[in-house]
Amino acid sequence: MFMVGWVGGHLHWRAAFWGESILMLPFVILGFVIKPLELKGFTHNKKTKEYGPMLSPELQDETSNNGIKQGVPAIVEGLAEKLPEKSSLSSFGKKVMIEIHHFGKDMKELLQERVYVVNVAGYIFYNFVIGAYSYWGPKAGQDIYHMASADLMFGGITIVCGIFGTLAGGFILDKIDSTISNAFKLLSGATFLGAIFCFGAFCFKSLYGFIPFFSVGELLVFATQ
């Protein structure tokens, strides 16, 4: 909000999104290369253990409970045997089929994890609310509180509360012991209280009541990050 409001007034609104894309690129790369976060109290089920480590298609051989190796999926092998040699699947085609097979297997594993499904559903609603505030918040600020620069006001509050809220959430989780159970308690508690403060902020007719309540609400909402 802050970038779109400020950059849009000086350059063009598209420039803000291009700038954000460039600034976020290092974080996208880090998401692929850094070691995943491991919280205490997380145990893999038997299905995850049986799947084994992710290897390249050429090296990956899954082993069944009887110790019999299974190379490429049976569907691919069957197709390769039935088709004539000239029209057999290329090595690239086999790699693609193997990757599709593993992707489908991963998706099946994820959809069977109720904790994962519920958290993703909750995060969808969370982002829906953040998106609604980012779009309708400044409009409400102009219509209700007659702010001169609603975009800058909402953007400034979001930036400050986003930084301090994210840091505070991580600090609190470290203090209360970084377990899955405590993380869920922090997520649900901060989201519930944040919703109350954000809703209560728009119940004030005065700007002096709105800003403190909305700031506390955003601090709590961003603590979940």
Asked whether residue 28 is domain-assigned, the answer is no
Residues 140 and 165 in one domain: no
Under a CB-based contact definition with an 8 Å cutoff, are residues 219 and 165 in contact? Answer: yes
Which of 117, 146, 175 is at the close of a domain? 146
Residues 169 and 217 in one domain: yes
What pLDDT sits at residue 5?
Answer: 57
What pLDDT sits at residue 143?
Answer: 85
What pLDDT sits at residue 9?
Answer: 65
Going by pLDDT thresholds of 50, 70 and 90, the confidence category of residue 219 is very high
Q: Which of 112, 137, 134 is nearest to 44 (CA)?
A: 112
What pLDDT sits at residue 19?
Answer: 82
DSSP 124-192: HHHHHHHHHHHHHHHHHHHHHS--SSHHHHHHHHHHHHHHHHHHHHHHHHHHT--BHHHHHHHHHHHHH
Q: Look at residue 40 and give its three-state secondary structure.
A: strand
Assess whether pLDDT exceeds 60 at residue 86: no
The residues that bridge with 63 in the sheet, in sequence order, are 69
The more confidently predicted of residues 29 and 2 is 29
The total number of residues shown for the chain amounts to 225
Residues 111 and 173 in one domain: no
Residues 123 and 112 in one domain: yes
Under a CB-based contact definition with an 8 Å cutoff, are residues 48 and 109 in contact? Answer: yes
What pLDDT sits at residue 112?
Answer: 92
Residues 207 and 156 in one domain: yes
Residues 191 and 138 in one domain: no
What's the pLDDT tens digit per position in 108-129? Answer: 998 999 888 988 898 898 888 8
Helix pair angle (114-144, 150-175), 10° resolution: 150
In this prediction, residues 92-101 reach a mean pLDDT of 87
Asked whether residue 193 is domain-assigned, the answer is yes
Asked whether residue 90 is domain-assigned, the answer is no
Residues 120 and 156 in one domain: no
What pLDDT sits at residue 89?
Answer: 57
Residues 158 and 205 in one domain: yes
What pLDDT sits at residue 8?
Answer: 60
Counted domains in the chain: 2
Residues 153 and 212 in one domain: yes
Say how far apart CA 113 and CA 135 lie, in whole Å. 33
Under a CB-based contact definition with an 8 Å cutoff, are residues 214 and 198 in contact? Answer: yes
What's the pLDDT tens digit per position in 75-85? Answer: 545 544 554 54
Asked whether residue 86 is domain-assigned, the answer is no
Residues 151 and 190 in one domain: yes
Asked whether residue 72 is domain-assigned, the answer is no
Lowest mean pLDDT among 67-71, 173-177, 217-221: 67-71
What's the pLDDT tens digit per position in 188-212? Answer: 899 899 989 988 988 888 888 888 9
What's the pLDDT tens digit per position in 146-205? Answer: 887 888 888 888 889 999 999 999 999 988 888 888 888 898 899 899 989 988 988 888
What's the pLDDT tens digit per position in 32-64? Answer: 888 876 766 655 554 444 444 444 444 444 444
Residues 141 and 159 in one domain: no
Which of 146, 180, 209 is at the close of a domain? 146
What pLDDT sits at residue 193?
Answer: 94
Going by pLDDT thresholds of 50, 70 and 90, the confidence category of residue 90 is confident
Q: Look at residue 7 and give its three-state secondary structure.
A: helix
Domain that holds residue 205: 147-224
Assess whether pLDDT exceeds 70 at residue 73: no
Q: What is the CA radius of gyration of the chain?
A: 25
